[in-house]
Amino acid sequence: AFEDAGAGTSLAKIAGSFEELSETLESSLDSDSDYDLRLKPFCEACTLVSVLFGCLGIAFKFAEMEYTAKVRGLTEAAGKYETLNRILDNDMKNDTVKSPGSLSRNLRRVRQGLDLIRALFLNFLSSGDRSLKEAATTAYGDVCAPYHTWAVRAAVYAGMCALPTRQQLLLKLNETEETAEINMKRYISAAGPIIQYIDNLYIKRKINLDW
Ligand code: 1PZ
Where b means 16+ CB within 10 Å and e means fewer, 115-146 reads bbbbbbbbbbeeeebebbbbbbbbbbeebbbe
pLDDT of residue 58: 82
pLDDT digits (tens, 9 = 90+) for 110-142: 999 999 999 999 999 998 768 999 999 999 999
pLDDT digits (tens, 9 = 90+) for 87-98: 999 999 999 999
ipTM: 0.90
What's the rounded Cα separation, in Å, for the pair 176 and 103? 37
Closest CA to 140 of 162, 159, 119: 119
148 or 34, greater pLDDT: 148
pLDDT digits (tens, 9 = 90+) for 30-65: 655 578 999 999 999 999 999 999 898 888 888 999
Determine the residue type at 143: V
pLDDT of residue 60: 86
What ligand 1 atom has the least distance to the C-alpha of 163? 3
**What is the rounded average pLDDT for all residues in the chain?**
93
What ligand 1 atom has the least distance to the C-alpha of 70? 28
pTM above 0.90, yes or no: yes
pLDDT digits (tens, 9 = 90+) for 159-197: 999 999 999 999 999 999 999 999 999 999 999 999 999
pLDDT of residue 27: 80
What's the rounded Cα separation, in Å, for the pair 108 and 97? 9
pLDDT of residue 168: 95
Rounded to the nearest angstrom, the distance between the alpha carbon of 131 and the centre of ligand 1 is 20
Write the CB contacts of 187 (distance below 8 Å, at least 6 apart in sequence): 11, 14, 15, 18, 117, 118, 121
pLDDT of residue 182: 97
Q: Is the pLDDT of residue 6 over 80?
A: no
Rounded to the nearest angstrom, the distance between the alpha carbon of 153 and the centre of ligand 1 is 10
Q: Is the pLDDT of residue 147 over 90?
A: yes
Pocket residues: Cβ below 6 A from ligand 1: 52-53, 56, 60, 62-63, 66-67, 70, 100, 105, 109, 112-113, 116-117, 120, 136, 140, 144, 148, 152, 156
